[in-house]
Amino acid sequence: MHLPRHRLPAFAALTAAGALMAACGSSSSAASPTSHAASAPKVPLVVYAAEGYDQAEVTAFQQATGIPTQLVDHSTGTLLAKISAERNNPQWGVFWSDGAESYAALDQEHLLVRGFEPTAGTLTALGKEVVPADKSYVPTGLTVAAAVIYNSTVVKNPPTTWSQLLDPQWKGAVGMNNPAISGPTYPFVAGVMQQLGGVAQGEQFFTQLKNNGLHVYTTNKVTLTALLNGTIKLALVQNSAGIGFQFTAPQLKVAYPSRVNLLPSVIGIDAKAPKQEIAEAEQFANFVYSAQGQAVQLSGDPHGDSLFFPVIQGTTALPQVPDVASLPTEDPNPAVWGPREASIDQWFTDNIVL
């Protein structure tokens, strides 16, 4: 369990002393070349994350830098609830998950470090489009939420627009995740609402979808399992999850209705963290942007979150990932939809899930 922030200095001193003793007799340094605080005493860096490759990345970072790093891995909804509960005494240094909307909301509450850009890698043009004006969070990759995943032995002609999901032929046949739990799902809901013209129009659409027999599950895995066992015929989930399931279920195919929402994976840094932990969090972001960090991100979850569109120049997507330029994508405005997340999630829970 992460110690309260007011107890960290003593703990950090012990950790630093232990690390110094372990390094005696060695001429090599564990500090990352991207660090501007390599000479400062190391303190524990706590990473809240909801990425399939997060453990591999945290392990590689700690090995490369010697910084004691603790991973707290949960669903995005659980982590956001923890961050909210810890508002007066934050216990995290880095937050890493899918969907910029949550970060835009945190930024508006002045909870994120602003003005930081990693220097270890150069963003692609698409990656630069995801960076907010105040540089309060950094993108680490892109996926699509949602795509339509279907069993090609059952469905020959999947829908090509979201409105087609309301057709009688899909009654009781569509499943999706609960946006209050699943990180990739709220941006999908927000994106549909934006496409339809606003919250009221979006609520009408999801109400009609519920009346047409919509099934709501918790996460990608649960929704895709329902697809495989025949409970549903169409799963509205993150495209990387659908591509990952194809490794063991090649009959599953991925369709991209017009239009689909780009979903960035994002790193934010706790503005209330101690100065040294903020410096280490910036090191962590630089490590992710480095060639070594990119390699870990691509290999840490090869049947899941590693199936992303890279945003760092020189990084090549895994071969199963389509060319993002071939997809009809758009990007919901996080500054508009982030502050609405709590109320829309609650509406969805009260009116669609229940």
pLDDT at residue 169 in the model:
97
Residue with more model confidence, 90 or 26: 90
Average pLDDT for 194-218: 97
- Residue 20 pLDDT > 50, yes or no? no
pLDDT at residue 108 in the model:
95
DSSP letters spanning 80-99: HHHHHHTTTS---SEEEEE-
Q: Provide the 3-class DSSP secondary structure of residue 30.
A: coil
Query: Which segment of 31-35, 85-89, 214-218, 347-351 scores lowest on mean pLDDT?
Result: 31-35
Residue with more model confidence, 14 or 94: 94
- Residue 26 pLDDT > 50, yes or no? no
262-289 residue pLDDT tens: 999 999 999 999 999 999 999 999 999 9
Nearest one of 184, 140, 71, 76 to 312, comparing CA atoms: 140
- Residue 74 pLDDT > 90, yes or no? yes
- Residue 161 pLDDT > 80, yes or no? yes
Average pLDDT for 106-123: 97
Amino acid present at 72: V
pLDDT at residue 258 in the model:
86
- Residue 17 pLDDT > 80, yes or no? no
In CATH, what class is 33-142+263-323? Answer: alpha beta
pLDDT at residue 276 in the model:
97
Query: Which segment of 20-34, 212-226, 237-251 scores lowest on mean pLDDT?
Result: 20-34
- Residue 294 pLDDT > 50, yes or no? yes
User: Residue 330's pLDDT band (boundaries 50, 70, 90)?
Assistant: confident
Q: If you average pLDDT over every residue of the chain, what do you get?
A: 90
Copy the structure tokens of residue 101: 């909307």
Nearest one of 205, 207, 261, 251 to 227, comparing CA atoms: 251
Cross-sheet strand order for the sheet of 252-255: 215-217, 174-177, 234-237, 147-151, 252-255
User: Residue 188's pLDDT band (boundaries 50, 70, 90)?
Assistant: very high
Q: What is the CB neighbour count within 10 angstroms for residue 3? A: 13
- Angle among Cα 209, 215, 218 to the nearest 5 degrees reads 125
User: Residue 39's pLDDT band (boundaries 50, 70, 90)?
Assistant: low
Query: For domain 144-262+327-353, which CATH number applies: 3.40.50.720, 3.40.190.10, 3.50.50.60, 3.30.70.20?
Result: 3.40.190.10
- Residue 345 pLDDT > 80, yes or no? yes
Report yes or no: 310 and 296 within 8 Å, Cβ to Cβ: no
Name the pTM for this structure: 0.86
Report yes or no: 82 and 97 within 8 Å, Cβ to Cβ: no
- Residue 96 pLDDT > 90, yes or no? yes
Residue with more model confidence, 86 or 14: 86
Q: Where in the chain is the domain with CATH 3.40.190.10?
A: 33-142+263-323, 144-262+327-353
- Residue 37 pLDDT > 80, yes or no? no
pLDDT at residue 40 in the model:
74
